[in-house]
Amino acid sequence: MKSQEVLSYLQENPQFFEEHAELLSHIPIPHPHGGRMISITERQMVSLREKNRKLENKLGELLHFGEDNDALSDKVHRLAVAMISAATLQAVLHSLNFYLRDDFGVPYFALCFWERPDAIAEVPDFVGVNRALRSFAETLTQPYCGAAPAHDAAAWFGEKAPEVRSQALITLRSGGGAIALLALGSKEGDHFYEDMGTLYLERIGEMLSAALVRVQRFV
C-alpha cells in the first residue's frame, strides 16, 4: 500500500486510532532532531513543545516591544515637561538639544526657521530655508522619514552632513501655517525609514511648535 493510500484511509477513518490506541505507543517514527526512533505520542509531545517555544519567543518579543514603547513614552513625557517649563527661546533650545541628544540618542538635529526669530543671536546653530525646502515641508501632512531629500541638506548639519544616512523631517506649525522645520539625522541608514510609525515624532513636533509660539515672535 502506498503512503498516499494510507493517508487517505486514515483521513476517511478518523476512528482508527481510537480502535487501535495501543499503536500510538508502539509504532516507531524518527525523532525530528535526531536519529533515534520515538512513538507517535512522543512525536506529538515534541511538536507541542516546539509550538510552545515559538509562542514563548513571540510573547517575549511583544513584551520587549511594549517595554520599548513605555520607555519612549517616558522620554516624550520628559521632553514635554521641559518644553512647558521653558520660558525663553534659549531655554526651549537648550532643552531640545539635551533631550534629543542625551535622552533620545539623536546625534544630529537642526531647527530651520521660515522667518528670522527676533532672538536669533542666542541660537547660532540655526539656518534658514530655501524656497524648495519650504514648499516641500509645507506639503508634509506627517513627518518625513527616510533618506535625505535633495534640499540643501548640507546646510542643516554643517560639517556633519556626510555622516547622516537617514533623516526625519517634522514641520512645525502655528495656527495651521508652517513656521519652521525640525530635522533629525542619524548615522544609521535604517534608523528613520519609510513607513515607520511617526506618532511620537508628531507629538514632538506639536510640543515644540507650541513652545516656540509661546516664547518667540518671528519677524
∠ Cα 139 145 159 (to 5°): 100
Question: Alpha-carbon distance 104 to 98, whole Å?
Answer: 9
Q: Name the amino acid, one letter, at 164.
A: V
Q: How many helices (H) and strands (E) does the chain have?
A: 7, 7
**Residue, of 190 and 22, whose pLDDT is higher:** 190
Q: What's the distance, CA 86 to chain centroid?
A: 28
Per-residue pLDDT tens over the stretch 147-203? 866 566 656 787 888 888 888 999 999 887 888 889 898 888 888 988 888 989 999
- The pairing of strands 108-113 and 127-128 is parallel
Cα dist from 81 to 93, 96, 100, 207, whole Å: 14, 11, 14, 10
pLDDT at 16 over 80: no
Q: Quick one: average pLDDT of 133-153?
A: 79
Biggest alpha carbon–alpha carbon distance for the chain: 91
pLDDT at 101 over 60: yes
Domains with residue ranges and CATH for the chain: 86-215 (3.30.450.40)
Q: What 8-state DSSP symbol labels residue 160?
A: G
**Residue, of 215 and 59, whose pLDDT is higher:** 215
